Amino acid sequence: MGTIIVACQTIRDEVNLAISETGVNYPVLWIESGLHNFPDRLGCKIQEKINEIENVETILLAFGNCGNCLLGIKSPLAQLIIPRVDDCISLLLGSYERRQNLFKEVGTYFLTKGWLESEQNLISEYERCVRRYGKDKALRVMKMMLNNYHRLMVIDTQAYQFEGILVKTKSFADTLGLSHEEIHGSLRLLKKLFLGPWDEEFAIIPPGEEVSLKHIFINNVETPKQNQALFSYS
């Protein structure tokens, strides 16, 4: 009986670096990228992957509760270990509290290399809008959708060549009139997930029990309404 990691492809660089730096040799099952704006589908994919797992005692879920995607997840035979964070942004910042402090300052949209490459995000949607409607209309549409956002913040997790994405993010911020900032990320929670101890920062779900809000609810604070699915137009 051993341990296995289930993780999202969007944070593959960070998970692989955390594995390298901790020296664990757990196998990893990857969940496809591109599902963060569809939390029900993401949750189904996670459950499907868990259902495939046999002969392990512990499943480490390298996920935040993005859009409540973890609610209802269970394993009949293994315990689940889950970081008690609202989403992957908090996971890559190292704590929910740090995310909350940033959230209080100004409306912020966060990006990493994984989000730029794998997920529906502001930049990819703007580019799609330009192709479909032209630049002028695309700008009007994006500015309406970004009415509550004032800052684009790029997280440097040190898991990839950070400078390589800044040209694109700075250009986009200038185009939309957003301030552009860079912030150091942290692999602290990922490393702690892999090595322990699993203290109050983690939920330990016994075999057969479903994940619920009581497991992951944090400090009675509402989840930040950031990096939501903004793109409902056709």
Cα 139 to Cα 144: distance, rounded to the nearest angstrom: 9
What pLDDT is recorded for position 227?
53
What pLDDT is recorded for position 77?
93
What pLDDT is recorded for position 28?
98
- Please report the sign of the dihedral spanned by the C-alpha atoms of residue 58, residue 64, residue 66, residue 68: positive
What pLDDT is recorded for position 221?
45
Cα 16 to Cα 28: distance, rounded to the nearest angstrom: 9
What pLDDT is recorded for position 119?
63
The residue with greater pLDDT, 45 or 102, is 45
Buried b / exposed e along 183-207 (16+ C-beta atoms within 10 A): eebbbebbbbbbeeebeebbbebee
Cβ burial of 228 (10 Å; 0-12, 13-18, 19+) is exposed
For the segment 30-57, the average pLDDT, to the nearest whole number, is 91
For the segment 65-73, the average pLDDT, to the nearest whole number, is 93
- Which tokens belong to 145? 């959708």
What pLDDT is recorded for position 228?
47
216 confidence band (pLDDT: 50, 70, 90):
confident
pLDDT in tens, 149-170: 899 999 999 999 999 899 999 9
Enter the pTM of the model. Answer: 0.88
pLDDT in tens, 72-120: 999 999 999 999 998 999 999 999 888 888 777 678 889 999 988 876 7
- What is the DSSP secondary structure assignment for residue 131, as one 8-state letter? H
